[in-house]
Structure 1
Amino acid sequence: MPPRRPPSPTPPIDGTDGALAARATGTSLLHTAVRYYSLTKPRVLYGNVLTAAAGFLFASPGRINIVLFLVVCLGTTLVIASACALNNVLDRDIDTVMARTKKRATVTGGVGARHAVIFAAALGVAGMAMLVAWTNWLVVAVGVGGFLAYVVLYGMLSKRMSVHGTLVGSLSGAAPILGGYVGAAGVLDAGGAVAFLMLFLWQLPAFYSIAIYRRDEYARANVPVISVVRGIPRTKIQILVYTVAFVLVSLLPQLLGYVGASYTAVMGLLGAGWIVLAVRGVTAADSYGWARMMFRYSLMVMTAVSVMLAVGPRLP
């Protein structure tokens, strides 16, 4: 018999396989992090945090406590992120049939419901712990109230059961600016009330506009938004009414002595433009196109409100 060949030597390890495995692991971790991050609804989250920062700066016309500002903003961010993540879990049945939400991680299975709830709980506990430890009881009360209003009163109940769901949701949407304000001021006064009312009123024409151009999707999902229950013409009238109400309230800060004429000039000009657009919408033939324009304008108004409240006390 021919002699056996000796076994082949073990091939040298050049690190290529290990590098590929490490890269794959890193990519997987990144994708997982992105899926969890998406549960926080980043665009909604950062819009709300912007208003919280504006509220704090509006209530700090003099020296700004930077540490407290950062704590209020970060704690509020975590609490809002927690509420948004829970909303993803609650709305899975609705999100499945709506084009803009059917790719959410809780719908596609990218993040399971149980893991999403654990993630939301961790965010909420961390955020509330920060607010309890370093802010005042008013900030904590606003944070808890806004969280419950969004998750329970809106997400679990009114959104599915009543045409007034947007009104309820607007309470939670206005909570961040109030939380920022009382975080700096330590009291709830006329300035905080006006800031809260502005954000509350701003949301109604903004989200009623979404209800128009997303009407068919809401109807398929059996969500009783105003455009589905009462029709588009009545929704347009409501948009006009709330737009005028917002503009009137947005001009109060100077009358109350919180800001100067610069604030009023900017907000008066933008408000007048928004009212003109709302009036045109009443007779607009292309309701969907007009509603999209109305919503885009509302985003500009919200950004302007936040900026002008922040710098208004420091301008003439």
Structure 2
Amino acid sequence: MLKDYVIVAKPWIVFANILSACGGFFLAARGQVDPALLGAVLFGTSAVVASACVCNNYIDRDIDTLMERTRRRPLARQAIAPASSLLYALALGLLGVAVLLLGTNLLALAIVLAGFGVYVGVYSLYLKRNSASSTLVGSLAGAAPPLAAYCAVTGRLDPGGLIVLAIFSLWQIPHSYAITIYRLSDYAAAGLPVMPVKHGVSATRKDMLVHIFAFALAAQALPVCGYVGSAYAVAVLGLSLYWFFIAWTGPQAQTEVLWARKLYRISILAIIVLSVMMSLDYAAPVPAG
């Protein structure tokens, strides 16, 4: 039972969001780290993201039974009662909000709650089942943790924060498209109108190319504007170009599934390298006076 409660909170997604939040935090801190603030950001964000994931599992428990990759989820196989999962989500959410309220600032809290609202209220409850644009809107939720972490440090939404928002939102779209192509039969079986189901793999690949290119430009805005150094610029640009090249060449001799899986893995590597380099290769603050 304890394992099921851990699984339903999607710990791998929580970890991914915390990694990106670290990137946003250390980018904004520029070497002047407040350990208490960092702890509050990471713990509070983790709890709210976990709450959102539990809510998503609750909402999707019917369609999860129709998909091979999700049919063994705790709520899909009725290992956890739906009412219990909602209480669990409420407890996680309230804990996260309390920590963010007491340990960060109202702007960071508002961004995290906005991300929760987009993911649960807009994406999970409506768009996922009704529109191919669900990925575009849902991408904003994925950008909330790094943006909130950035604003927890700065206390304001400045150009650096807007760049962080653009980077992580744009990354989310081709990353999600790769998953939908990789698991195309699952999404079709559940009747979900994701991009490759509704418009085909070819149209999805073209859209991926646009967003990977836009991601590469947004990512390079950080060094251009002086927020990070050349090591970040080289590492992230190299991965961005490789990601774009694999998307551009298409499946070729391999199947669409293998091609999409490769794109998915590259996207994971790209966001890891991006977050790590944001954390390590930040530009030092200009001395006062």
Q: Give deviations 1:111-140, integer Å, cap 9, x for gaps.
A: 110000000000000000111112111111
For 2:12, the aligned partner's letter is R
Give the aligned residue type for 2:3: V
Quote the residue 1:276 is aligned against: 245
RMSD: 1.2
Provide the residue aligned with 1:188 in structure 2: 157
- Secondary structure of 1:59's counterpart equals helix
TM superposition score normalised by structure 2:
0.96
170, 176, 184: which is aligned to 1:207? 176
- Following superposition, the deviation at residue 285 of structure 1 comes to 5.6
Of residues 61, 64, 74 in structure 1, which corresponds to 2:30? 61
Q: 1:163 aligns with which of 127, 132, 139?
A: 132
Identity %: 38
Contact kept? 1:236, 1:282, Cα under 8 Å: no
**Structure 1 residue 62: deviation in Å?**
3.3
- Map of 1:219 onto structure 2: 188
Q: Which amino acid aligns with 1:294?
A: L
Give the alignment of 1:1-316 within 5 angstroms.
32-281=1-250, 286-313=255-282
Aligned pair in 2 of structure 1 residues 284, 168: CA closer, same or farther (>3 Å)?
A: farther
Q: 1:314 to 1:190 in 2, by over 3 A?
A: closer
Gaps of 5+ in 1: 1-31
Partners of 2:215 and 2:162 in 1: CA distance? 13
| 2:48–2:97 CA contact under 8 A, matched in 1 | yes
Question: Which residue in 2 is equivalent to 1:20?
Answer: none
Structure 2 Cα separation of the partners of residues 243 and 53 of structure 1: 22
Q: Deviations over 1:79-111 (max 9, x none)?
A: 000000011100011100111110011011111
Report deviation, 1:182.
0.3
Asked if the contact 1:209/1:295 (under 8 Å) is kept, the reply is yes
Looking at structure 2, the residues matched to 280 and 70 of structure 1 have their Cα atoms a distance apart, in angstroms, of 43
What's 1:15 paired with? none
Instruction: State the secondary structure of the residue aligned to 1:106.
Output: coil
Provide the secondary structure at the position in 1 that maps to 2:72. coil
Contact 1:40 1:85 in 2 (8 A): yes
The aligned amino acid for 2:161 is G
Shift of 1:284: 6.1
Q: State the structure with more CA Rg.
A: 1
The 1:48/1:297 distance shift into structure 2, 3 A limit, reads: same
Distance 2:184 2:235 in 1: 33
Between 1 and 2, higher relative CO (CA 8 Å, sep ≥ 6) is seen in: 2
Q: Is the contact between residue 240 and residue 278 of structure 1 (CA under 8 Å) also seen in structure 2?
A: yes
Q: Which amino acid aligns with 2:259?
A: W
Take 1:126 and 1:297, find their aligned partners in 2: how far apart are those partners? 34
Query: 1:144 and 1:210 mapped to 2: Cα distance?
Result: 26
Deviations 1:29-53 (A, max 9, x none): xxx2111011111111110111111
SS across alignment from 1:192: helix
CA contact (8 A) 2:226 2:283 kept: no
- Give distance in 2, aligned partners of 1:42 and 1:140: 21
How many residues align? The count is 284
> Mind listing any 5+ residue stretches in structure 2 that lack a counterpart?
285-289
Cα offset for 1:235?
A: 0.6
Q: Deviations over 1:261-301 (max 9, x none)?
A: 11111111111111111111175662111111000110000
